[in-house]
Amino acid sequence: MKILSIDTSGQAAGLAIISAPKSETEGNGKVIAEFTLNDKINHSVTIMPLLQQMLKAVNMEIADMDYIASASGPGSFTGLRIGASIAKALAHASDKRLVPVSTLLGLAYNVLVSDKIIVPIMDAKRNQVYAAAFVKSGDKFKTLLDTTADDIINLAGIIKTYDKPAVFVGCGVFIYKNQILDAGFEIAPENCNLQRASSIGLAAVPLIKQGADVNYNEFEINYARKPQAERELGLKNGLKV
H or E, element range at 58: none
> In sequence order, what are the residues at sequence separation of 6 or more whose Cβ sits closer than 8 angstroms to the Cβ of residue 25?
none
pTM of this structure: 0.91
164-207 pLDDT tens trace? 999 999 999 999 999 999 999 999 999 999 999 999 999 999 99
* Residues 18, 19, 20, 26, Cα dihedral to 10°: -110
For 149-171, give the DSSP string: EE-HHHHHHHHHTT-S-EEEEST
- The strands making up 97-101's β-sheet, listed across from edge to edge, are 30-37, 13-19, 2-7, 67-71, 97-101
d(CA 146, CA 151): 15
What percentage of the chain carries pLDDT values higher than 70? 91
Q: CB–CB of 217/150 below 8 Å?
A: no
14-18, 24-28, 49-53: range with lowest mean pLDDT: 24-28
Q: Please state the rounded mean pLDDT for residues 59-77.
A: 97
Pairing of strands 117-123, 140-150: unpaired
Q: So what's the pLDDT on residue 223?
A: 95
End-to-end CA distance of the chain: 42
- C-alpha angle 180/186/192, rounded to 5°? 105
Q: So what's the pLDDT on residue 25?
A: 64
